[in-house]
Amino acid sequence: MTKQTPSSPGAPGRSALVIGCGFVGAQLLRNLSRSGWKASGITLSESSADALRSEGLEVVAADLRISDLRALTKNDPSVVVHCASSGKGGAVAYRETFLEVTTRLIQDTNFEHLIFTGSTSVYAQADGSLVTETDSAEPERETGKILRETEELVLAHQGTVLRLAGIYGPGRCVPLEKLLSGEAVVEGDGERIMNSIHRDDAVSALYLAAANRCPGIFNVADNTPVTQLEWFRWVCTRLGRPLPPSAPRNLNRKRAWTSKRVSNAKLRSMGWSPVYPSFREGLEELIIERG
Ligand SMILES: NC(=O)c1ccc[n+]([C@@H]2O[C@H](COP(=O)([O-])OP(=O)(O)OC[C@H]3O[C@@H](n4cnc5c(N)ncnc54)[C@H](OP(=O)(O)O)[C@@H]3O)[C@@H](O)[C@H]2O)c1
């Protein structure tokens, strides 16, 4: 695999279908299209598709769970990127959107390379240890187990699984939104480790995987896992706000209570490096953006 960035010339003549053009997928579609790929995308709603079409992108609205995937992929894209989300759904939505759509993509459609956006939530480690792609990924929750099942299916077909950390970027940062709305809490002693990735760095990792067809699992996180307390201290100091109140650990959180430092060394060894090496660079931009 060679070094590749979103601004690289890309692969003229190659085609890609991005299924799920949301926060990450829409930016990937923009980058692929700008770089000379024949790229198209799918959203669930007409309103999202319309907004992207108004930028000159090729997008159709369809519900993947019930659509004829053969018809949606009739142009035989060489690369299919599955980055549709499950919305706020639980295990049923995970099964339908991740496992069943991926199964049908493999059975019913023609492509050379399938890329799946998974999640670092599959690592159940809670002891603050460093986790790489070869460490155990045995999630406790049903949703995590479905993600793992989907990963195995993709890997069995020489596909790529990108395990994304918590995504933030222009107009979206869940912990910042909670802080500003007064809902944020510091859990326990604040020692839980958070792993983040800026949207643009997630997109450059997806682009790299698409352009270089690298099978296997890759963690996609920035260089700097931080404790929750470090995160809030930096952001609150920057905003001149008090730290949020303390509260007991939320053991019922959707993605299970974990604490680990996700290593991005494998992806970095492939030539990728994040433009936002820590949350600080990304948050600085978001804070300036908010005015
Ligand atoms: N957010 C995180 O921190 C995080 C962390 C790890 C992994 N991930 C994963 O990363 C991927 C990308 O996340 P994201 O934040 O970019 O997601 P997002 O902003 O929620 O966008 C999801 C996109 O998928 C489309 N979609 C959802 N269900 C669909 C269906 N049934 N048929 C067709 N299209 C459908 C949505 O269409 P509409 O625009 O019409 O709604 C939207 O365009 C997802 O797989 C997510 O699970 C996210």
pLDDT digits (tens, 9 = 90+) for 30-44: 999 999 999 999 999
Q: What is the pLDDT along the chain (291 residues), one digit of tens a residue?
A: 333 344 444 455 699 999 999 999 999 999 999 999 999 999 999 999 999 999 999 999 999 999 999 999 988 899 999 999 998 889 999 999 999 999 999 999 999 999 999 999 999 999 999 999 999 999 999 999 999 999 999 999 999 999 999 999 999 999 999 999 999 999 999 999 999 999 999 999 999 999 999 899 999 999 999 999 999 999 999 999 999 999 988 767 666 789 999 999 999 999 999 999 999 999 999 999 887
Classify the phi-psi angles of 125: left when phi > 0, otherwise alpha if psi is within -120 to 50, otherwise beta: beta
Measured between alpha carbons, how far is 165 from 58 in angstroms, rounded to an integer? 28
How far is CA 76 from each of CA 11, 116, 291, rounded to the nearest angstrom? 16, 17, 45
Report residue 174 as tokens: 């869940």
Q: CA dihedral in degrees (19, 272, 220, 88; nearest 10)?
A: -30
How far is CA 52 from each of CA 21, 43, 197, rounded to the nearest angstrom? 9, 9, 23
What's the pLDDT tens digit per position in 76-99? 899 999 999 998 889 999 999 999
Pocket of ligand 1 (CB under 6 A): 20-25, 42-45, 48, 62-65, 83-85, 97, 117, 119, 164, 166-167
Measured between alpha carbons, how far is 288 from 282 in angstroms, rounded to an integer? 10
Chain centroid, CA 203 distance in Å: 8
- 163 CA → ligand 1 middle, Å: 14
- Residue whose CA is at the smallest distance from ligand 1 atom 43: 22
Q: Which amino acid is at 194?
A: M
Q: Which of 24, 28, 85 best tests ligand 1's pocket when mutated (most atoms within 8 Å of CB)?
A: 85
What domains sit in the chain, N to C, each tagged with a CATH number? 15-169+197-222+261-275 (3.40.50.720)
Number of H helices, E strands in the chain: 11, 15
Measured between alpha carbons, how far is 31 from 35 in angstroms, rounded to an integer? 6
Measured between alpha carbons, how far is 284 from 1 in angstroms, rounded to an integer? 33
| pLDDT score for 11 | 57
